[in-house]
Structure 1
Amino acid sequence: MTALAESRAPARIDFGPWLWSPTVDLALFGGSAVLALGVVAAARALGFSPGPLPEWGWLVFVLAVDVAHVHSTLFRTYLDGGELRRHPVRYAGIPVLVYAAGVALYLAGPMVFWRVLAYLALFHFIRQQVGWVAVYRARAGQRGLLDRVLDDATVYVCTLYPVLDWHTRLSSTRFAWFMPGDFVDLSRLASSWVGPARLVWLALLVAFALRQLQLALTQSVVHTGKIVVVATTAAIWYVGIVVTNSDFDFTVTNVIVHGVPYFGLLWFYARARRKEAPTRLGSQIVAGGVGAFLGLLLIVAFLEEMAWDRLVWHERVWLFGAGHVDLGAIALALVVPLLTVPQGTHYVLDGLIWRRGDTRTRPSQRAALGFLP
């Protein structure tokens, strides 16, 4: 009787796998999206939006999140002597190549430089979301072609459809990636494709949802982490670009969901690496706790933005003080690419250091991505 009752009992649903824990995963991915949308809603109610990003918003969202998260890559790379010895050519050569390419682009024209950087940044933001989904898929042991193609296609369309919609109205938008004009005006071409793209966007979201429902019904598994990443990507990119037309809204939705989970990843990596190599500089900083980890990133971000303001922008005397330097065209062609080296290096390295090969051979990276307890 007991055996019969047990055989008829409904299968227990598995809501994993998780990278770190249900609480942490949901906080970093779902919580960051809820926070971003909540800030946008509050800003609209308080009159900050639609409109330009206020100075306090620049401090919180640009300097403390967007710029600081770029430098968190230091804990995976330049603050680890063992890693530097492992790939000396990579870590010496990439910044040099980034700088040389930047100078060449800037000499071709300042807008050429910013345009290439904007599209590179866009690609980086999209690929990060694809990467998160790929990690969850690997954690779940989903190796089939169907899930890989459907997952990747859904994330790409959730990001590229809003960008295509943006390109239909570049002249009327109140926001830009870096500066007005950094995206190419393809309004006529984009307008002819945005309708079909919207249908593909809707169809793939429905297909993704149906696939998750099928897995829940047939395998008693709900891949919550992956679903949250896809759902928040769809919501954030749609709200921040298609629904609203505001520098404030775009910045908040863009940087929080991109930067906050990356902070989390690098924190967990640095903590795991400390157990392996406690004498490394990054490990010694992490020994001071999350405050020391974030504090260093904020200091470096502040110094970078001070250099930008003193040498190029001259916009925030209230924060960085007076005494700016007026540079000529040739000097700017040398200085601006130099100041973007951390950003460009981050874009390139981020596409290298989290690959499967490194993850398989590095216990600290396996632990940071949830493959080890």
Structure 2
Amino acid sequence: MPRLLSPSQGWLFSPGVDLSVFAGSALVSVAFVFAAPWLGAVGDTPLWAWVLFVVCVDVAHVWSTLFRTYLDTAELRRRPGLYLGAPLAAYVAGVSAYLVSSRAFWTLFAYVALTHFVRQQYGWVALYGRKARASTFERRLDAAAIYAATLGPAVWWHANLPRDFWWFVEGDFLSGLPRGAGSVALAVHAVVLAAWVAFQARRVARGEGVQVGKVLLVVATWVAWFGGIVLAQDDFAFTVMNVVLHGVPYFALLFRYARGRRAEGRYGVGGLLLRAGLPGFLLFLIVLALLEEGLWDWLVWHEKAPLFGVATVDLPEDVLALVVPLLALPQATHYVLDAFIWKPGREPALLNRLGWTSAAGAGAPEGPPSSTLPLSTMAIPGGSE
């Protein structure tokens, strides 16, 4: 009888956590989309869903980077230039773009976000391959599958503008791509994914089995991107499919790291916040996310009066050129820092804190010691709000 499971699973966290944060996230997203008519969530995202998915997942996951960076006094002393320079560079770039036009700012921000979302999914699948000692061919095929699952729908989206939803604001993505390019993109994406499925079936037929976590990650990525972009008919479906699979695994990564860092001692403020465990970790992030979104609404959007009250501030455009990039700074800094803070080649203790090595080195991810964690390792990995 063919073997269904690979002898070397190489779970990133544990079977339960991996299945929950990847497959579970996709299932929850799909369930909410199917339940939308009964939830009164067809069309625009209702306020309760915006709070749950945008504030409590998307914006809060951005703030979770604090536990890897600014809440750790030892980390701040280790690389002060990075932690001062990253927000400064992001703010200067944001103001410069906004001075060109507000649309230029949001277009730049949208593509940075899109890049981050794609690269984060690649990072997870690449780490699965590294931990399971996958062959070079298999790792390349896995990467092709992830890029097909994400970029295929993204290109199709560009070829079918306008849609009933946008990444940040209306008109942020550039239009003008021929519709035929979208069809070609989906055809290529189908061929690549079919080849990946055939390879997994071949592994089973040869008795090698499949790496369950990785397979479910690729499937979940395709479900979220194809369902959230190509099949989605409204902003609610796009929002739910877009943010859950992106934010929930990142929470798991940061909480795992913070817990490992606290065990070393001298963690600073991060250690104090973790005394309340996962509930305290999440509550702290949600409070920060609500404060951020309150400022956005009071100063810029004026759309969430039932939650934040009626805003009377009406800033002129030249002031907005300074305020909008400032409000976007937590997210922009998150993008930039992600290019530097997940590289164990420069910080060997990182893998221990994540629980991927032991004192004796057992259980370490396979690959050369100088290799980097491929989680959002582009210069501007990105997120969405």
TM over 0.5: yes
1:37 alignment counterpart: 30
**Is 2:129 aligned against 1:137?**
yes
**Is 2:220 aligned against 1:232?**
yes
Q: 1:183 to 1:369 in 2, by over 3 A?
A: farther
Which letter maps to 1:54? Answer: P
Q: State how far apart, in whole Å, the 2-side matches of 1:369 and 1:131 are.
A: 19
The residue correspondences of 1:5-20 to structure 2 (distance < 5 A) are: 13-14=6-7, 16-20=9-13
The residue correspondences of 1:225-304 to structure 2 (distance < 5 A) are: 225-304=213-292
| Cα deviation, residue 202, structure 1 | 1.2
Q: State how far apart, in whole Å, the 2-side matches of 1:53 and 1:71 are.
A: 22
Question: Which piece of structure 1 moves more, 98-107 or 206-215?
Answer: 206-215
Aligned partners of 1:159 and 1:237 also within 8 Å: yes
The structure that is helix-richer by fraction is 1
Q: State how far apart, in whole Å, the 1-side matches of 2:228 and 2:182 are.
A: 17
Aligned partners of 2:74 and 2:266 also within 8 Å: no
SS in 2 for 1:333: helix
**Is 2:138 aligned against 1:150?**
no
**Is 2:175 aligned against 1:182?**
no
Q: 1:40 to 1:358 in 2, by over 3 A?
A: farther
Q: State how far apart, in whole Å, the 2-side matches of 1:149 and 1:331 are.
A: 47
Aligned partners of 2:21 and 2:252 also within 8 Å: yes
**Structure 2 residue aligned with 1:90, among 78, 82, 104?**
82
Aligned partners of 1:20 and 1:369 also within 8 Å: no
**5+ residue gaps in structure 1?**
1-7
Q: Deviations over 1:90-112 (max 9, x none)?
A: 11101000000000000000000
TM-score by length of 2: 0.88
TM-score by length of 1: 0.91
Question: Which piece of structure 1 moves more, 173-182 or 210-219?
Answer: 210-219
| Cα deviation, residue 362, structure 1 | 2.3
**Structure 1 residue aligned with 2:111, among 116, 119, 122?**
119
**5+ residue gaps in structure 2?**
366-385
1:5 alignment counterpart: none
Q: State how far apart, in whole Å, the 2-side matches of 1:363 and 1:261 are.
A: 17
Which letter maps to 1:198? Answer: L
Identity of aligned residues (%): 45
Aligned partners of 2:11 and 2:18 also within 8 Å: yes
Runs of 4+ in 1 over 6 A off after TM superposition: 8-12
Q: 1:318 to 1:194 in 2, by over 3 A?
A: closer
| Cα deviation, residue 238, structure 1 | 0.5
SS in 2 for 1:288: helix
Q: State how far apart, in whole Å, the 1-side matches of 2:195 and 2:121 are.
A: 18
- Between Structure 1 and Structure 2, how many residues are aligned? 361
Q: State how far apart, in whole Å, the 2-side matches of 1:13 and 1:202 are.
A: 25
**Structure 1 residue aligned with 2:184, among 196, 212, 218?**
196
CA RMSD, aligned part only? 2.2
Q: Deviations over 1:310-345 (max 9, x none)?
A: 111112222122354221111100000001111011
Q: 1:323 to 1:167 in 2, by over 3 A?
A: closer
Q: 1:81 to 1:222 in 2, by over 3 A?
A: same
